[in-house]
A and B are shown apart, each in its own frame.
Chain A
Amino acid sequence: GAVVSQHPSWVICKSGTSVKIECRSLDFQATTMFWYRQFPKQSLMLMATSNEGSKATYEQGVEKDKFLINHASLTLSTLTVTSAHPEDSSFYICSATGLNLNNEQFFGPGTRLTVL
Chain B
Amino acid sequence: KNQVEQSPQSLIILEGKNCTLQCNYTVSPFSNLRWYKQDTGRGPVSLTIMTFSENTKSNGRYTATLDADTKQSSLHITASQLSDSASYICVVNDSGTYKYIFGTGTRLKVLA
Is B100 at the interface (CB under 8 A from chain A)?
yes
* CB contact under 8 A between A108 and B43, given known A43-B104, A43-B105: yes
Q: Which residue of A lies closest to B10 (CB)?
A: A41
Is B52 at the interface (CB under 8 A from chain A)?
no
B89→A110 contact, CB < 8 A: no
Q: Which residue of A lies closest to B98 (CB)?
A: A103
* CB contact under 8 A between A46 and B100, given known A107-B43, A109-B43, A110-B42: yes
Closest chain A CB from B62 CB (angstroms): 17
A46→B99 contact, CB < 8 A: yes
Q: Would you mind naming 9 contact pairs between A and B with Cβ atoms under 8 Å apart?
A: A4-B43, A42-B104, A43-B105, A44-B102, A93-B43, A93-B44, A109-B43, A110-B41, A110-B42
A48-106 CB contacts (< 8 Å) to partner B: 49, 91, 93, 95, 103-105
Q: Which residues of A contact B (CB under 8 A)?
A: 4, 6, 34, 41-46, 49, 91, 93, 95, 103-105, 107-110, 112
Number of A-B contacts (CB under 8 A): 38
Is B79 at the interface (CB under 8 A from chain A)?
no
A112→B43 contact, CB < 8 A: no
* CB contact under 8 A between A43 and B43, given known A103-B93, A104-B49: no
Q: Which residues of B contact A (CB under 8 A)?
A: 31, 36, 41-46, 49, 89, 93, 98-100, 102-105, 107
Of A34, A45, A91, A104, the residue contacting B41 (CB under 8 A) is: A91
The interface residues of chain A lying within 8 Å CB-to-CB of B98 are 103
Q: Which residue of B lies closest to A45 (CB)?
A: B102
B49→A43 contact, CB < 8 A: no
* Cα-based distance from A49 to B42 in the complex (angstroms): 20
A107→B49 contact, CB < 8 A: no
* Cα-based distance from A70 to B102 in the complex (angstroms): 24
* Cα-based distance from A43 to B36 in the complex (angstroms): 12
* Cα-based distance from A60 to B78 in the complex (angstroms): 40
Chain A to chain B: the 9 pairs with minimum beta-carbon distance, closest first: A107-B43, A43-B102, A109-B43, A110-B43, A44-B102, A43-B104, A107-B44, A93-B43, A108-B43
* Cα-based distance from A111 to B19 in the complex (angstroms): 31
